Amino acid sequence: MTDATIPENLTAGGANARPRFRVNSRAVVMTLYLLFLLLPLYWLLNMSLKTNTEILNDFTLFPKDLTFANYATILTDPAWYMGYVNSLIYVVMNTVISLTVALPAAYAFSRYSFMGDKHLFFWLLTNRMAPPAVFALPFFQLYSSVGLFDTHIAVALAHCLFNVPLAVWILEGFMRGVPKEIDETAYIDGYGFGRFFVKIFMPLIASGIGVAAFFCFMFSWVELLLSRTLTTVDAKPIAAIMTRTQGASGVDWGVLAAAGVLTIVPGALVIYFVRNYIAKGFALGRV
């Protein structure tokens, strides 16, 4: 594995370099792939730092006159920043609800077998897999009829459709890694279920809870269809605002790009801490 072959055209530069910097095919592949991933992102960042005149009239690879006006617009105009506030409110609500109900359920699935457990577990999975498009219409009718339309809690509850199953599956994946002897010892030592769960068990799967919270947060944060369908004004999320920026004078590209950059920030902030769990989270705790 270590003796990867050096392609013909690269040997010239690589031969004299120190071994540490030897150009090998693996590095080339990774560089090209990462370049492919980062170019569109760079372009978004680039556009967010330009004025609209520059975006539309000059085609420049770097912002000619660097401006933060686009970000200023978003952070001072309530029509924009309230979108972030609304999104954050329902996302946090959803994460809290999902984890609260998923923790005991995941414990039950990982420790006990009971009537219909496998079918229940499968049924949860189907909800994670169900297309939001199927649920958009009935959700609209349901939340309108109970008077919750255009509230944060409506979106938070609607997102439970896929986030609760997700949290249960991820947490179950982490919990099955904790030996059962720990539970038994604790019960013998006289711990009740509640005290054992909070004092001993939850710290043991802290990383699992973190990962589950992160994925709940993320899937609720990125969802557009349901949050857009269930809100009009008061709880309108940033995603919905971004898709409706077409004004009479065309699209305000600079502000749109800046808004895009700002929505990436929450994910980018924690990315380093969850880097080893990304695959596990997406694969519902099964890797």
Listed residue (190, 236, 201, 214) closest to 81, CA to CA: 236
Nearer to another protein, 43 or 68 (CB): 43
203 alpha-carbon distance from chain centroid: 23
CA distances from 205 to 83, 84, 176 (A): 34, 31, 10
Nearer to another protein, 11 or 31 (CB): 31
Q: Give me the long-range contacts of 130-136 (CB less than 8 A, separation at least 24).
A: 130/161, 130/162, 132/161, 132/162, 132/223, 132/225, 132/226, 133/225, 135/161, 135/226, 136/225, 136/226, 136/229
**Amino acid occupying residue 66:** L
Give the x/- contact pattern for another protein in 224-263, rule: CB under 8 A: xx---x---------x--xx---------x--xx--x--x
Task: By CB under 8 A, name the one of 20, 21, 78, 112 that touches another protein.
Answer: 112
Residue 6 engages another protein in binding (rule: CB under 8 A)? no
Residue 102 engages another protein in binding (rule: CB under 8 A)? yes
Piece of the chain touching another protein by CB under 8 A; list 8-16, 70-78, 205-213, 278-286: 278-286
Nearer to another protein, 68 or 193 (CB): 193
Burial class (CB in 10 A: 0-12, 13-18, 19+), 241: buried
* Binding residues for another protein restricted to 149-208, rule: CB under 8 A: 157-158, 160-161, 164-165, 168, 176, 180
* Binding residues for another protein restricted to 26-85, rule: CB under 8 A: 26, 29-30, 33-34, 36-41, 43-44, 47, 55-56, 59
Residue 145 engages another protein in binding (rule: CB under 8 A)? yes
Nearer to another protein, 18 or 119 (CB): 119
CB of 210 to another protein, least distance (A): 15
Which residues touch 213 (CB under 8 Å, ≥6 apart)? 95, 99
Task: Report the chain's terminal Cα–Cα distance, integer Å.
Answer: 24
| Residues binding another protein: number (CB under 8 A) | 99
CB of 126 to another protein, least distance (A): 5
